Structure formats: C-alpha cells, structure tokens
Amino acid sequence: MDDNVRFLQGNDVCVQAALYAGLEFFAGYPITPSTEIAENLAYHLPRQGGKFIQMEDEIASMCAIIGASLTGRKVMTATSGPGFSLMQESLGFAIMAEIPCVIVNVQRGGPSTGLPTGPSQGDVLQARWGTHGDHAIIVLTASNHQDVFRMTVDAFNLAETYRTPVILLLDEVIGHMREKVILPEKGAIPVVDRLRTSVKAGIDYHPYLPREDGRLPMSDFGGEHRYHVTGLFHDMWGFPTTNPKIVHGLLRHLNDKIKNNISDINRMKEYFIDDARTILISYGSSARSALHVVHNRRARGERIGLLELQTLWPFPYTQVAEKCEKARQIVVVEMNMGQVLLQVKRAVSRPERVMLANRIDGVFITPTDIRNILRLIHGKGV
C-alpha cells in the first residue's frame, strides 16, 4: 500500500490540505455539514504547534482569524450557510483591511437554518455579494477529493498572494463523502508564504503602500512596526481618510488586484469540449453527476462535453464565452435556482442557448435528473 493513500471525507481532506499549506490558527463554531473540519483540526493543529479555538459564534470566529492573520499567522475558519451569514460583516473588514484568510463554507440547504444535512449550492451569490459595498472576492470549489486538496492549498496561496479573504465553497456531498485521495509529498504543490516587509524596525513602514508588482508586504502586528488597521477608507499608513482621490484609488485597488489577475486565479477543467454540441457547465458535487452523464453519452457517440468551474469568483466570463462559442446548447448543472446560470448567460453570445438543469429539494442531483432535462431540451420528451 502506498503510504500516502487515504480513504477520507472531503472535510478531512480539507484539514490535511490546510495543514500542508501551513495553517497555524483556526477559530470556528461547529455546524453541520462542516463540523468534521473543526473536529479534526482540534486534534491535529495543537499537535503541530498551531492554535485551535472554539469561539462563542461565527461572528467571533471570523474576528479571531482576522486578528491572528494580522499577527502573521496563516488562518482559516469553517462553517455552513447560517454561520457564513454571520461572518459577512467582518468578511468585509478583512477585504477592506486586506487581511489574508481562508473561509470554508460547506453548503447546506437554505435559507436560514434550512436543511442541515441536505446538499445545496445556494450560497454562490452570497459568497460574491454577501458583504456590502463594491468589493472583489476569490471563491474556489472542487468536485473530488484530490481537487479539494489542491483547491484548499490554492486558497491559502491566493489569500497570501493577493492579501484577501478566499472562500472555499464546498457542499454537503463533497464534505461528507469518502473516497480515495493521495496526499501529495511536501513540496509537490507550491506553498506561498507570508510576504513580510524588509523595512527595518524604527523606520517608517507603510502597510498599504503597494510594491511595484502590486503586492503589499505585511508586518506582524504587535511586532516591529506600529501601524493602524481600519475598516474605514484609509491612506498608505492605514489611517482613516475621506480624501476622494485616496478613496477612489483604494476602491479601484481592491477590485483591480483581483479582476486584473483572473488568468492567474481562474481554474477550470474541461472534458470533451472541442467538438461538443452540448456543453454542460457545472462545479462542486453537481459536476460529478454531470461528468457521469457526459461519459455515458460520449460512449454512445453523442457530442457532449463538460466545463467544470473551480474558480467561481472572479467569474471567468471571457473563458466561458470562448469555450462555449461553438456549442448549440449550454446546460448549467447546479443545486440552486440558477446562480451560475445567470453568469453564464451574461458571459456567452446568444444567451438563449443557456438552460438550467437543477435540483432544489435537498437531494443530490442525479445523472437521471440531468438526462431527463437533456431529453426535453432535445425535444425527445421524458
């Protein structure tokens, strides 16, 4: 047996990957279906010299990881819909203050406490726009455990690279399903470490003055430099300002640092796209059912393919448009009422080609559900 082969739940894989990426601090409040992430980190993290804190709620959890990140630690929290709603206010703070952190949302049925044990993908737009104000955000997802590992490490790397919160949007099926995963050897996946300032102690440090490459070197809060951190618009010293020029510049910076780097941030997988007349677009657990359909139909000679999105935000509008240019039908497979469907319609030419194959009853969408909708689209009845 290969020592690195494991049979794990998606939540366990997320934990292994977070440790691989250098996680040092976790604060959270357990909630189904994300609980195993907190449970396993409570065991593993202290044994590796890290800190685990169970907080009184998700508001406090989010605040705790922001504070810990400022002091130089790699941080994460994990939750599901109801807890993710509570985190939105301080998520905005982390975006404004440019604090690297990873938030895992293992989606369950909503709104409100909804369906604690049922799968859903209803938080795609909340992940984008749950916190107020014009902002950018990075949201990653995965459909199998090898990819959960990779996307978790990437979430930490992107958080450090762009000094931003990154949301890892998993779902109940992926979180609770067990399957084979091969844990990568150390070094097999690059890990981005915290970029710290080279400014010496006692010399004026500008926490919000970007280098030429746009990155902002950090200084561990409470360490060598004294500086200010605020959710208000701020200048390069971190102090509040209402100067329109600076306000404009900061808001542009917060959005452009993500928008201008879509090619670096975007991750997608394609299956049989080149000659496909029908393209399925899916992500997360739904992509497994979609891929099942694609393989079955290809075996019968049907020209069908799958575009699996792994970066949901910033949405890869240009890339999706290019891939779908030649398709006659584009069918978005997701477990919500069409949250990614909207983006695909915005992305492609002739949006009337775009249709939805969904399921919203707390039951995992099946290949049969997708096949039936494809039959209707092709005018073959059910």
Contacts with another protein by CB under 8 A lie at 1, 5-7, 32, 116-117, 173, 176-180, 288-289, 291-292, 295, 364, 366-368
Q: Which is nearer to another protein, 48 or 368 (CB)?
A: 368
Distance of closest approach, residue 168 Cβ to another protein, in angstroms: 20
Of 71 and 372, the one with the shorter C-beta distance to another protein is 372
Q: Which two tokens stand for residue 105?
A: 């949302």
CB of 366 to another protein, least distance (A): 7
- Shortest Cβ distance from residue 285 to another protein (Å)? 8
Give the three-state DSSP class for 278: strand
Please give the angle made by the CA atoms of 98, 108 and 312, to the nearest 5 degrees: 45
DSSP code for 183: P
Phi, psi of 116 (to 5 degrees): -60, -35
To another protein, the closest distance from the beta carbon of 364 in angstroms equals 6
Using the minimum distance from each CB to another protein, give the nearer residue, 281 or 354: 281
Instruction: Provide the minimum distance between the beta carbon of 332 and another protein in the complex, in angstroms, as a whole number.
Output: 18
Query: Shortest gap between Cβ of 184 and another protein (angstroms)?
Result: 17
Closer of 206 and 295 to another protein (Cβ): 295
Q: Are strands 101-107 and 75-79 parallel, antiparallel or unpaired?
A: parallel
C-alpha span between 206 and 219 (Å, rounded): 9
Q: Least distance from C-beta 41 to another protein, angstroms?
A: 21
- Residue 30 DSSP class: -
8 Å CB contact between 74 and 119 = no
Of the two residues 7 and 43, which places its CB atom closer to another protein in the complex?
Answer: 7
Q: Round the CA-based radius of gyration of the chain to a whole number and report it.
A: 21
Query: Taking Cα atoms as reference points, which of 287, 289, 292 lies closest to residue 310?
Result: 287
Shorter beta-carbon distance to another protein: residue 6 or 51: 6
Closest approach of Cβ 251 to another protein, in Å?
43
330 touches 281 (CB < 8 A): yes
Closer residue to another protein, CB minimum distance, 1 or 382: 1
Q: Are strands 329-334 and 278-282 parallel, antiparallel or unpaired?
A: parallel
Distance, CA of 248 to CA of 233 (rounded, Å): 9
Exposed/middle/buried for residue 282 (C-beta within 10 Å: 0-12, 13-18, 19+): buried
| Beta-strand pair 5-9/178-182 | antiparallel
Give the nearer residue to another protein in terms of CB position, either 176 or 257.
176
List for the chain the helix, strand, coil content (%; round to 5).
Answer: 40, 20, 40
